[in-house]
């Protein structure tokens, strides 16, 4: 078995769960996962090893998802699922989208390791034990770092 096939077999379910958490659409998450690994193969020479391979793949996946969102916003301002969720209250829908965007901006401004730990826990659905292993730290460190990241994100929202 080739090394990349092994990587795909091991990490694709985790990358898929991360993308599913972002887009909340199984078919889209599958498509984005495939595109993520395709891009990773094409650009493997750019992987510097500054972060875990899983994190690098999630970064590629997130860029793929954001590209997809930009393409969708040009052709269809609101996906059908969003329209069906609040057809009578566009003001509430706008506030929800603004809150999500603000949270997303705050997440990107978080310093490391808070951003990575929060993303792995929430989007990657990793346990504290798995996060601790990735960082070669204790499980308690992972819990405390996640809690602090959450507090930093909540500042200004309350």
Domain-located, residue 85: no
Do 4 and 64 share a structural domain? yes
Tell me which long-range contacts 35-43 makes (C-beta under 8 A, separation of at least 24). Answer: 35/64, 36/60, 36/61, 36/64, 37/8, 37/12, 39/64, 41/4
Q: Residue 3: which CATH number?
A: 1.10.1740.10
Q: Which domain holds residue 57?
A: 1-78
60 Cβ contact partners less than 8 Å away, ≥ 6 residues apart: 36, 39, 40, 43
Please tell me the distance from the alpha carbon of residue 52 to that of residue 75, in angstroms, as a whole number.
Answer: 35
Kindly calculate the radius of gyration of the chain based on its CA atoms and give it in whole angstroms.
17
Q: How many domains does the chain have?
A: 2
Do 127 and 61 share a structural domain? no
In our burial notation (b when 16+ CB lie closer than 10 A, e otherwise), range 124-152 reads bebebebbbebeeeeeebbbebbeebeeb
Average pLDDT score over the chain: 79
pLDDT band of 36, cuts 50, 70, 90: very high
Percent of the chain predicted with pLDDT > 70: 80
**Which residue in this structure is represented by tokens 């034990």?**
129
Q: Full-prediction pTM beyond 0.85? A: no
pLDDT band of 98, cuts 50, 70, 90: low
75 Cβ contact partners less than 8 Å away, ≥ 6 residues apart: none
116-130 per-position pLDDT tens digit? 888 878 877 778 888
Choose one of 20, 47, 78: the last residue of a domain. 78
């Amino acid at each position: 078995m080739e090394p990349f096939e092994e990587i795909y077999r091991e990490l694709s379910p985790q990358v898929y769960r991360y993308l599913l958490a972002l887009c909340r659409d199984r078919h889209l998450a599958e498509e984005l996962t495939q595109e993520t690994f395709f891009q990773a193969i094409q650009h493997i020479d750019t992987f510097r090893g500054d972060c875990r391979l899983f994190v690098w793949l999630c970064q590629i996946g997130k860029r793929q998802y954001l590209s997809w969102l930009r393409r969708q916003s040009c052709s269809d301002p609101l996906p059908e699922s969003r329209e069906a969720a609040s057809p009578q209250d566009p003001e509430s829908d706008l506030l929800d989208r603004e809150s999500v965007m603000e949270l997303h901006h705050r997440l990107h401004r978080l310093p490391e390791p808070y951003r990575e730990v929060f993303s792995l826990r929430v989007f990657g659905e990793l346990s504290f034990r798995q996060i601790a292993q990735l960082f070669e730290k204790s499980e308690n460190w992972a819990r405390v770092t996640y809690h602090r990241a959450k507090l930093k994100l909540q500042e200004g929202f309350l």
